[in-house]
Amino acid sequence: METKKILYVDDDPEIREALRLLLGCEGYETVEATNGEELLRLLDDTIDLVILDVMMPGMNGYAACAELRKRSPVPVLFLTAKSQESDMTMGFSAGGDDYLVKPFSYNELINRVKAMLRRYTIYGAKATEQTRLIRCCGNIEIDPDQCLVRQDGKEIPLTDIEYRILHLLASHPRKIFSAQNIYESIWNEPYFYTSNNLVMVHIRNIRRKLGDDPQNCHTIRTVWGKGYRIE
C-alpha cells in the first residue's frame, strides 16, 4: 500500500513535534512548514493531506488555504485554538474540508486524518473509478473519472468535499437531500444540529463558484424546510 504523505503547518515547534510523532507512529510520511508562505513552497502533487494552523505570523491559515485552493484539491484539516462558529465558517469558506480545535486528542486527530485520506482516495482527485459523465443544469458537466466539474467547458476548482456534494446531488436529480442526508453521506459521521451550518457553507461555496445568483440559485435549489436538490 502506498504511504500517504502529510504536510503540516504550525509556527509552534511543540505542536510540530507532536504531529511528527503522532503521524509517524501511524506510518505516514510527513513534511513540516512553519508558516503559510512555506506551505505554498512545499506543496506539490505528492501531498495527500494538509494540516493547517490558523494563527501564524505573515500569511495566516485562511489566506494560505485560499491560495492553496488555486492550485490543488488536496484535503485541508484546520487545526486551531479558534473555536467560534464564525471561525469555522471562515475556514470552510477559504476551502478547508474539516476543522479540529486545540487541544485535541490523539484518537480524534488520527480518526479525522484517516477519514479524510479515505475520502480523498476513494472519491477525490486521486480516485480512478471509470464511469460516465454526468450533466446537470445544462451547461455543467461532472467527470467522475477525473473528479472534475466543468461549466461551458471550463474547469471549476471545487474542493474534495464540494465536488462530492455536487456529485451526490447530480447523481439523483430531483431527489431532495436534507442537510442530514448530505452530511452523513459525505462525511460518513453521525449528524448533529451544528452540522447543518457546515453543509450550508459548502453549498454556498459551490453556488458561488458556479456563478449562481444568491437570490435565484439555478444549480442547487433550496427546498425550504426540506433540503436541497438539482433539477
Same domain, 178 and 209: yes
CATH code assigned at 76 = 3.40.50.2300
Q: State pLDDT tens for residues 153-209.
A: 888 888 888 888 988 888 877 788 899 989 988 887 788 887 888 898 999 889 888
pLDDT (average), residues 88-100:
81
Helices (H), the chain: 13-25, 36-42, 61-68, 85-93, 106-122, 160-170, 179-186, 195-209
CATH code assigned at 176 = 1.10.10.10
What are the φ/ψ torsions at residue 159 (nearest 5 degrees)?
-75, 170
Same domain, 151 and 203: yes
Same domain, 30 and 112: yes
Same domain, 109 and 25: yes
| Cα separations in angstroms, 3 against 26, 38, 155 | 10, 23, 29
Q: What distance in Å separates the CA atoms of residue 79 and residue 150, rounded to the nearest whole number?
A: 31
127 belongs to a structural domain: no
128 belongs to a structural domain: no
Please tell me the pTM assigned to this model: 0.62
Per-residue pLDDT at 130: 40
Same domain, 153 and 204: yes
**Angle at which helices 179-186 and 195-209 pack, to 10 degrees?**
90
Count Cβ atoms below 10 Å from residue 138 Cβ, excluding itself: 10
41 belongs to a structural domain: yes
Structural domain for 155, as ranges: 134-229
pLDDT at 123 over 70: no
Same domain, 29 and 93: yes
Q: State pLDDT tens for residues 40-92.
A: 999 998 999 999 998 888 888 989 998 998 888 889 999 887 767 677 777 87
Phi-psi region of 4 (alpha: psi -120 to 50; beta: other; left: phi over 0): beta
Same domain, 71 and 161: no
Phi-psi region of 69 (alpha: psi -120 to 50; beta: other; left: phi over 0): alpha
Per-residue pLDDT at 131: 45
